Amino acid sequence: MGSNLKYNELTFQAIVDATPSAILLVNQEGIITYTNSHTNKLFGYSKNELIGKSIEILIPAGYRDKHPDLRDDYFFKPTTRSMGADRNLFALRKDGSEFPVEIGLNPLITVEGTLVLASIIDITERKKAQERFELVVESAPNAIILVDQDGVITLINKSTLDLFGYGKSELLYKKLEILIPERFRDGHPGKRTSFFASPDVRPMGAGRDLYALRKDGSEFPVEIGLNPIKRDDQIQVLASIINISERKKQESQIQKYLNELEHKNKELEQFAYIASHDLKEPLRTITSMIRVLEEDFAQNIGKDQKEITNYISDAANRMTQVINGLLDYSKIGQDTKLTTVDCNEILNEIQKDIASSIKDTKANLNIAKLPVLKGYRVELRLLFQNIITNAIKYSRKDSPPQIKIASKKEQNHWKISISDNGIGIEPEHGDKIFDIFQRLHTTNEFEGTGIGLAHCKKIVELHNGNIWFDSNRGIGTTFYITIPDNENRK
C-alpha cells in the first residue's frame, strides 16, 4: 500500500514537472509547498528558494497587501477558477521585473488540509499582440467595433466615438443594439446568431439600405464589413462601419441629373421630330413652286433666272437632306432591342444596297470573317454603311476604291477595322470629324450633310464602344471600332 502511494506521488510529480505551464501548490497560509521546473525557470528562482516561502514573494508590491484577504476568501469557498482573462494580472520575477499572467486555480483536498494548485501562464507575447491589434484598430480611419457572441461591445476606436457621438464608457461593454435603429433591433440578435454559426468575412450594405443610430437619435446610412477573429480564446466579430451619407447624397444627385437628362433628351428628340416635319413642309412648297415656274414659264425663263431657280432647288434639297439626317440622328437608340447581330449578314445586305455605287466606281471590298455581336441591328447596319459609302465617296480620282474590313478579338471586346485607299484626312481634323455638321469639304467638292460620322459615333457609344481613325493624306484612312463582347447584355 505504501509503495503504491509512493509510486503515485512520484508519477504525479513527474507529470506536473513535465507540464509546460508554471505549477505551484500553496496551502491556506499562503506557503508554497511545491513547484515544478517551469515555475523555477519562469520566475528565476531555484526550487529551494521558493519552497516554504510565502506566495506573496511572486506578487508585485502594489498587490501584496490585498492578496492575503483574497486568498482567505478563496479558501473559504474553494472552486476551480481562471483569472486574468478579463483583467490585468501581473507576477514578479526574482530580478524584480513584472510580466502579465493568466492563472488557473484548482482546490486539492488532502489529509494535511486543502491546498490550491495554481497554473500560471506568461501572456507577455499575447499582450503585445493584443496591444498591436488595438493600436491598429485605434488608428483606423473607419469606425471599428469588436463584438462578442452575446452582442456585447468589447473594443471601440476613437472614430467610432466621433461617428456615433458617445463617450467610451457609454459604449464599452454595452449591447451592440444601442447603435441600431429601433425598427431593426428585434431582428438583429437572430442575424448575429446566424453569423456566428457560420463566421466568415462578408460585406454588408452594398446591395441594400443599412442604417445606424447616433446618440442624438439621428440615423445615417452605412456599409459594414464583418471579420471573425479569435480573441481571448473566443470568436468575436470585428465590424468596420463606414458612413455613406455623402455617397448616398451624390448618388441621389446623379440619379436626379440622369432623370433630368433623360427628360431633356426626350424633349429634344420630340423637338427634332416636330421641327423636321414643320420645316419639311415649307421646303416641299418651295420645291413645288420652283417646279411650277419651270414648267409653266419655261419659255420666258432666261439663263440667269434658270441658274437662280436651280440654286434655290438645290438648296431646298440639301436642306431636306439635313433635316432627314437630324431626324435620323435623334432616332438612334430609340425603340430598339438588343439582339444577336451577325455582322457578316449586315455587310452582305449593304453590298446589295450600294451595288450601283460599287459598280460605277469599280470599288473592291475585301471583307474578312466578322463577329456575331449583341447589339442593335439597324444602328450597326447604318454604322457600316456610312463608313463604307464615305470610303467610296472620298476615293482618289486616279485609283478605284479599295476597302478592307477585318476584325479581331481583344480581351473583352471586338476590334473592327475599315481601311480605304482614299484621299485621307488631315490630322488636325481628328477632333471634329465626328461632330455633327462638321464638313472638311465644300458641297461643290463632295455632296453630304456632315452628319454621317456623327451618326457613327453615336451608334458606337450606344454599344459602349469607341471609334477613332488613322489616316495619311493621299494614301488612305482606317477607322477603328471597338464593341464589347457582352454576350449576356440585356
286 in a domain, yes or no?
Answer: yes
Q: Can you give the CATH number for the domain in which 474 is found?
A: 3.30.565.10
Domain span at residue 67?
2-122
Q: Answer yes or no: do 222 and 316 share one domain.
A: no
HSE, CB side, 13 Å, CA atoms: give it for residue 35. Answer: 24
pLDDT of residue 488: 46
- From 89, 122, 155, give the residue that closes a domain: 122
Give domain status of residue 146, yes or no: yes
* Neighbouring-strand partners of residue 143: 241
Q: 7 pLDDT exceeds 60?
A: no
More confident residue, 83 or 153: 153
Chosen domain end from 330, 363, 392: 330
In a domain, 398, yes or no: yes
Give the mean model confidence (pLDDT) for residues 76-96.
82
Backbone dihedral angles phi then psi of residue 48, each to the nearest 5 degrees: -65, -25
Residues 342 and 417 placed together within one structural domain of the fold: yes
Nearest-angstrom CA–CA distance, 97 and 414: 72
Give tens-digit pLDDT for 202-222. 776 555 688 999 999 999 999
Kindly state whether residues 109 and 47 are assigned to the same domain.
yes
Least confident segment among 12-21, 319-328, 448-457:
319-328
Q: Which of 122, 140, 166 is the last residue of a domain?
A: 122
pLDDT at site 333: 60
pTM of the predicted model as reported, rounded to 2 decimal places: 0.47
Helix, strand, coil: what percent of the chain each, to 5? 45, 25, 30
Give the model's pLDDT for residue 309.
Answer: 75
Number of domains in the chain: 4
- Does residue 387 have a pLDDT over 70? yes
Q: Do 351 and 451 reside in the same domain of the chain?
A: yes
Examine the domain organization and report whether 176 and 268 are in the same domain. no
Beta strands across the sheet bearing 364-367: 364-367, 402-410, 413-419, 476-484, 466-472
Answer yes or no: do 137 and 111 share one domain. no
Give the mean pLDDT of the chain: 82
CATH code at 182?
A: 3.30.450.20
Instruction: Reply yes or no on whether the pLDDT at 343 is more than 90.
Output: yes
Looking at the structure, tell me whether residues 476 and 347 fall in a common domain. Answer: yes
| Residue 490 resides in a domain | no
Residue 86, beta-bridge partner list? none
Task: Tell me: do 372 and 472 sit in the same domain.
Answer: yes
Question: Over 50: is that where the pLDDT of 78 sits?
Answer: yes
| 350 part of a folded domain | yes
* Cα gap 452→436, rounded to integer Å: 8
